[in-house]
Amino acid sequence: GGGGGSGGAREEAGLVELVPGGADILVTAENRGRYVHLMAHHLLHAQIRRQSAAFVAGFRSLVPPEWLRVFAPAELRLLISGAGGRIDVDDLARSSMYSGGYTADHPTMKMLWEAVSEFEDEDQRMFLRFVTSCGNTPLLGFSQLQPAFCVHRSGMAGGSDAPEASADLARLPTAATCMNLLKLPPYRTKEAIRDKLLYAIKSGSGFDLS
């Protein structure tokens, strides 16, 4: 148990008693359930009380509590986190921006949205999380996403103006979630887009400094 087998918790400042006189109470098979409960309360509540109070005070300085009281918890979660389920890929495509040589009419972009529309529900959410860090659709649609979802042509050996023949098509897609930016090489088939995207979003290797 914590505190060298006694009813306490070790911290940098010393021993914190979970109950009065806890430093002198040994943790045994009979009282270990209570000890675990007290330790969890200490770690998740008492130990971070000051930090939690500072967070709540800061949040309330930005969002008055009376604004939140009109929402049920499920409604507030929906407002903050958006809706789950399948992505409206048409809405995402309409709301997206393109850079590095891509346009909405670029063949790779048409194949991208076709591939994403064919993903399973969970893969669609993983794709969205890969680029934006959130797997849910914004409550009012992708037009409300800030900054706007953007697809950038990447893997070009000579920069954005280089011919696509110079592209490194072995390179995986990457993302910059702080900018909602997908960096996608100009793959030539829908199958390549699907396979490379699924590999990238499921391997957790999406961030780079390019």
Active site residue 150: no
- List the catalytic residue out of 19, 178, 189, 210: 178
Which DSSP string do the residues of the chain spell out, in sequence order? -HHHHBSEEEETTEEEESSTTGGG-B--TTTHHHHHHHHHHIIIIITTHHHHHHHHHHHHHHS-HHHHTTS-HHHHHHHHH-B-SS--HHHHHHH-EEETT--TT-HHHHHHHHHHHTS-HHHHHHHHHHHHS--SB-TT-GGG-SSPPEEEE--BTT-TTS-GGGB-TTSPPEEEGGGTEEEE---SSHHHHHHHHHHHHHHT--B---
Please list the active-site residues: 178
